[in-house]
Amino acid sequence: MFTGLLLAVVLILLGVGTAARQFKGLRVLAARTHVPSDEHAYLRTQARRRLLIAGMLFLLGVLIGGSFLSGIEAHATAIGERNHGSEPPTPDEKRFVQFYGALWIFIIVMVFAVVGFSILDAWAARRYWHRVYRQMRDDHNTLMQRDLALYRQQRMEAREARIRRGLEGSAEE
């Protein structure tokens, strides 16, 4: 029971902390005026995805903590110990077992959803920053090509100047 409650508290705190951080990030983003539109859209969408994940973590913590604090887990354990033998379950016990199973199936589905949205968030971050990296690399290559062209032009002009000086010097003799 202690481990389950500890897990619930950690999930609730993680959800609340993540949500607070994302709300702060959205406020900072709204206050910034000179943000490129693609970066603004990415950061806003990222905060929304992470708010969704935070809400699901909070809900998971509440569901797990609630099942321990409400006595559902203790009741399920009692039914399991009593019906471990050959005694058939009562209709109320059957309904409770169905409810208990549905609760934990929902919790497991929520865990998979949190993992799925986390992977989606990581993938979106990778895609965005890869696009930024490519843009920076292309800009750098463009600048390097321009600098190389200027360097070649300067070398060519210096060579032409040396040739002209040489021709002018030999014409004077």
Residue with tokens 């005694």: 87
The alpha helices in the chain, defined as continuous H runs, are 2-31, 37-69, 72-82, 91-172
**Is the distance from CB of 16 to CB of 70 less than 8 angstroms?**
no
pLDDT in tens, 102-148: 999 999 999 999 999 999 999 999 999 999 999 999 999 999 999 99
Asked if 79 and 93 count as a contact pair (C-beta separation under 8 A), the reply is yes
Amino acid at residue number 35: V
Question: What are the distances in angstroms from CA 18 to CA 10, 48, 96, 117, 119?
Answer: 12, 11, 34, 14, 16
Provide the pLDDT confidence category of residue 36 given band limits of 50, 70 and 90: confident
CA 59, 62, 65, 68 dihedral sign is negative
DSSP summary character for residue 71: T
Q: Do the Cβ atoms of 18 and 52 come closer than 8 Å? A: no
Res 49: pLDDT: 95
Confidence of residue 87 (pLDDT cuts 50, 70, 90): confident
Residues 53-79: pLDDT tens digits?
Answer: 999 999 999 999 999 999 888 888 887
Choose among 38, 57, 170: nearest CA to 110: 57
Question: What is the Cα–Cα distance from 61 to 9, expressed in whole angstroms?
Answer: 6
Report the pLDDT value the prediction gives residue 171, as an integer from 0 to 100. 58
pLDDT (0 to 100) of residue 89: 74
Three-class secondary structure of residue 14 per DSSP: helix
